[in-house]
Amino acid sequence: MKSLKILLIACTLITTSSLVILAQENMLGDHSKMEMKKDSVKSENIVRKGVIDLKGIDKNKDGKVFQDQMDWNVISDKPGKCPLCKMTLKEVTVKEAKEKLIKNGFKVK
């Protein structure tokens, strides 16, 4: 009877561990497949594709934009969160944003 209890506990721990690993893999997976969530900037799609026009993004012409520090092509002229990874966008100069984009293989206008 004691062996059966130990076996059941071991099976439960293995199952729980497997579920945790699967959940982590889903959370850390390919960002391009994730959907845009409601708490992201709603007025525009801030996930930039193709040649990125930083001057066009800087609508208020203050020389600054908000950029994700993990998904470099997520850029807005307003503070907010990345719709892909949920990180808070960091305020950077247009020059800094351009340098990070180019360094990470993106094309900039």
Q: Tens digits of per-residue pLDDT, 1-38?
A: 777 777 667 667 676 655 556 555 555 555 544 444 44
**Which is more confidently placed, 6 or 48?**
48
- Tell me: pLDDT of 49 over 50: yes
Q: Are residues 103 and 54 in the same domain?
A: yes
Q: Are residues 67 and 100 in the same domain?
A: yes
Which ranges of the chain would DSSP assign to H, the alpha helix? Answer: 2-27, 54-57, 94-103
Q: Are residues 25 and 44 in the same domain?
A: no
Q: Are residues 59 and 97 in the same domain?
A: yes
Residue range 62-90, pLDDT digits in tens? 999 999 999 999 999 999 999 999 999 99
Size (the chain), residues: 109
Q: Are residues 7 and 42 in the same domain?
A: no
- Sign of the CA dihedral with 85 first, then 87, 91, and 93 last: negative
Query: Does residue 27 come out as left (phi exceeding 0), alpha (psi in the -120 to 50 range) or beta?
Result: alpha
Domain containing 27 equals 1-32
